[in-house]
Chains A and B, each alone.
Chain A
Amino acid sequence: MVELIYLVPLLPLIGFLIIGFFGKKLNNEKLVGAIASIAVGGAFLVALGAFLQLTGESSEARTEHIVRLFTWIQAGSFHIDIAYQVDQLSILYTLIITGIGTLIHIYSIGYMHGDKSFPRFFAYLNLFVFMMLNLVLANNFVLTFLGWEGVGLCSYLLIGFWYDRKFEGSHIVWTGDAAKKAFIVNRIGDFGVLIAMCLIYMRFGSLEYTTVNMAAASGGIDAGLITAITLLLFLGCTGKSAQIPLGIWLPDAMAGPTPVSALIHAATMVTAGIFLIARNSTLFALSDTTMAIITGVGITTALIAATIGIVQNDIKKVLAYSTVSQLGFMFMALGVGAYTAAVFHVMTHAFFKALLFLGSGSVIHGMHEEQDIQKMGGLKKYMPQTYITFLLGTIAISGIFPFSGFFSKDEILWNAYANGSPILWGAGVLAAFCTAFYMFRLLYLTFYGEERFDHHHVHPHESPVTMTLPLWILAILSVFGGLLGIPKALSGGADINILEHWLEPIFANANSILASHHTNAHHHSLALEWGLMAASLAIAIIGILYAASLYKKSSSKPAEMAAKNKGLYNILWNKYFVDEIYHNVFVAPMYKISLDFLWKIVDVQIIDGIVNGSARAIAVSAENLRKIQSGIAQNYALMMLFGIVAIIAWMVFA
């Protein structure tokens, strides 16, 4: 099956082409939805086959599958293939993308029912899956970059999918503005990746992952260069994965339809940054500076986003900030060298965050496009299935034993303590506390308390089965997904951490480099690990109870607290004013320079002046030449005579 891996990206591409070109003509929602879902579902089955083949092989053999399709770019010694690298990391990502992708496609058939651009939506969605698969399956930077840019494009197209709708945000009026913001912010990061690629090619003479990482592992590379390369790559990751300083686009990306938020802006695309670092773990392990920066950025983002999430009232924005915060967790894990933990969290997060987004979509659907949780409440009885699955997702993200979030979050926190510092652990636990708090706040405000919506206009109802079925499947995964990574501490010393074993060969090089850097690593006792685990669990439960005390029953307490801490509340409500600062420091001056200088002076006066001026000069000379062409033969003869004299003179005298 591994040789057939090209089918995995190919099927969604075919789906995109069929729906893109004939979707409107088919004029049948069910058919279009079925084609799109089957394309992704088929890809999932092929990936599953490849996965099963890998499981039957020795762990060394698993890393050596490279399927070369054809030469893509050939210029001198520069050579890039369209080639797919099937190994433990890429197949895991592929399964997440196609698996959750299939569920979200099915869900979308119900969610997008009746939309005037139904086929366009599925065409974009299939194109996205194609691009995302190229990103993770590529065996070289360039093909990954193709996917990287491709998912950025699809993200842009899907955020602005309802281009004629308004969307509220900082300096944003239309959904199109939000799409542009996402695209432009990402471009900044992509530029970093591009430069990093140039540097890598300069130093290693190749852009294939295996060659580059092999050469990096053998050592002898200038530390400054490695730091530059990895920092530039990380800049790209902060764009794609919405970290400081480029994370501001993700909350506004919620302008897109909710399935898009679930697939692109929670489960898959935003984790591309984690993938890129995991794929090049050897390179990153070589630079302590970069690793430290990644840790710092990760934990800071996790904390900032989590605190902002506490005060948001838009159901999707709460989830968006939660995503940013969880991605921060993953980067912190990468920064402390816990690659497996990061990828583990990517997986569990994909389950429960996709579930929560789809659940919120179900709520929005049932509430007639209402997104403000202050105008909801008491929906439990109207949408029981959505409620139960949402509850399971919320428990999972809060990190309550034995739900999936507990295991991955705890592995990260433990690594933060063991490889980092107690302070890092403390910050992580604080962020986890906030997470538990705002998630249960969201749950209580939506499903409990008094019904704050207008009963005359809004009649909440449960969603159709195409929407609730994916919810249940994701709920099951959210509950049990964590069992793939049970730590030794909980298994009584038995080695049953499946995921860690699975990914071990991928990160072997990086881990040995890191181990050589930290020779003084001390051994921590089992009791300490138990203690920390219990502490973080207890704090998460405190967060839940606190949320319950404030929001389970409608009360005026939250409003009073906001009034009492007006300054703090304002900072959080305005998202630490990051958008405003960016606007005033970068956007506004740039806009002014563009308008007053580049356009009015450079473009209009200089460039247009040259173009129009030369055109005018030629037109004038054409008119003058016309006068010389008088039609009188004698004048022509005279002209000839001048020429004759000139030529003879030149020949004889010059």
Chain B
Amino acid sequence: MKFGVVTFPGSNGDYDSYTAAKFVLGKETVFLWHKSASLEGADVIILPGGFSYGDYLRSGAIARFSPIMKSVIAFAQSGGIVIGFCNGFQVLMESGLLPGALMRNSHLRFRHRFVYLKTENHNTPFTNMIPEGKTIKVPIAHGDGNFYNFQADVDELEKNSKVIFRYSDMNGKITNEANPNGSLNNIAGISNREGNVLGMMPHPERAVESILGSDDGLLVFDSMVNYLVNKPAKSA
């Protein structure tokens, strides 16, 4: 099992993701340069946090056209596991792999702190190891995390259980106070219709050892490993 971490110019979460997968999880992990078109046989593609291409134009808008993204989009469309954290989420949306937009935080401030997430769907490649009823404590660090989409499309996500993570209090209660950026319905992470692509604003890769303040983020990595180990031999 191999993890591939994409590095765009301006990525700053690529080493966090690499460290989580390679040293904490103990899996083979490679960096994938944005100018390359090869995914080097990776089974999981991570789009890391940061400020790809300086966030010029809109967050994620330029990264979407990089050579590596052509391959990532094809990989995702053939059922490959792709996860985007923070800026990676923004790239996934700009690429059209996930529906919606991430706007400037409603209060205009950059927010960096721990949040609690309620998992709304445990039956995904990214959440199957998160115990029912457990909120996970992971950090956020963003200025453009305000999830927005047309009401009909949000309803569609909700109806199909594609809202995977929601900002909550530590007991899993969804409140306005727990919403750090103004996101509709407290949405922190969503998946595509097929369920193989997940984007989330928080950073589970920065909460993988207790010395970091929380190791709850490791559950997201464990889930992907568990999914890949147990999935039927014939992949999509």
A, B in one complex: no
Chain A positions within 8 Å of B, measured between CB atoms, are none
Chain B positions within 8 Å of A, measured between CB atoms, are none
